[in-house]
Amino acid sequence: MQQTFYKYQGTGNDFVMIDNRQQTFNKKDTKRVAFLCDRRFGIGADGLILLENHPDLDFKMVYYNADGNESTMCGNGGRCLVAFAKDLGVIKDKAVFEAIDGLHHAEIKDGIVKLQMLDVENVEEYDKHVFLNTGSPHHVQFEEQIEDFDIKSKGSQIRYGAPYNQAGTNVNFVKKINEDTFRVRTYERGVEDETLSCGTGVTAVAIAMHTLKQTNNTLINLNVEGGKLQVCFDAENKLYKNVWLIGPATYVFKGTI
């Protein structure tokens, strides 16, 4: 059986996109999803996303990690899906869609996608790290030697270690550049390696840095391995509302497999 697919990337975080509005894709076939995401035997991607019809909204997002399992929210994936929906003619320049963590608003203009993320009110501060959920769980900690740091080894230790255990977490290492700019490298669960960018990860970092008073800004620049992203929000005491993830989302190619 042939499968038509589209490839998109957002600051190097890449995804296999499938138009599943006709419900032709077997969503229970985790081995097939993992195969399609495999960089040697398949297409190659950090995740696979299905665009589906929704009875009341513009569309529905179904997201799978590269290991084949349906997963929590993916910020860059959501942004890429908005670009995909625009290219398919499903939307024009604005969208409201459903993902696993609820409703999301989005805007697209000149290849830049703004995606509204969840409100965040529970930021857990510890001695050496911060933990919060921005649609996916994220551990955030500082690392001065971030340029040559062993992200895969150190990230996997934290990802499976206490207190996260079986459920696991994504792990973000951060270096402050200046008052409104931070460098971020992320180990992603489900990919089980460093990715060039993580949307929910940089959202978590931006909020964590504001919580830790590393910045007073509410528009934060995040330099990731695959480019640059921005996160803006409204901060009301310990509640973060109107959170937006901003950055490019790019069509790469279309094919059949």
Catalytic residues: 74, 198
Q: Report whether 170 belongs to an annotated binding site.
A: yes
Q: Report whether 12 belongs to an annotated binding site.
A: no
Complete DSSP assignment for 179-211: TTEEEEEEEETTTTEEES--HHHHHHHHHHHHH
Return the percent helix, strand and coil in the chain, to nearest 5: 20, 45, 35
Q: Report whether 247 belongs to an annotated binding site.
A: no
Residue 55: asked if its preceding bond is cis (omega within 30°), the reply is no
Q: Report whether 211 belongs to an annotated binding site.
A: no
On whether the CB atoms of residues 51 and 18 are closer than 8 A, the answer is yes
| CA count, 13 A, side-chain hemisphere, 199 | 33
Q: Report whether 75 belongs to an annotated binding site.
A: yes
Q: Report whether 39 belongs to an annotated binding site.
A: no
Bridge partners of 114, per DSSP, are 107, 246
Q: Assign 3-class secondary structure to 32-45.
A: HHHHHHCCCCCCCC
Q: What angle do CA 12, 97, 67 make, to 5 degrees?
A: 45
Q: Report whether 200 belongs to an annotated binding site.
A: yes
Q: Report whether 188 belongs to an annotated binding site.
A: yes
Tokens of 241: 């509302």
Cα torsion angle, 195, 92, 24, 43, sign: negative
Q: Report whether 223 belongs to an annotated binding site.
A: no
Bind-site residues for substrate: 13, 65, 75-76, 170, 188-189, 199-200
Could you list the residues known to form a binding site, using ranges. Answer: 13, 65, 75-76, 170, 188-189, 199-200
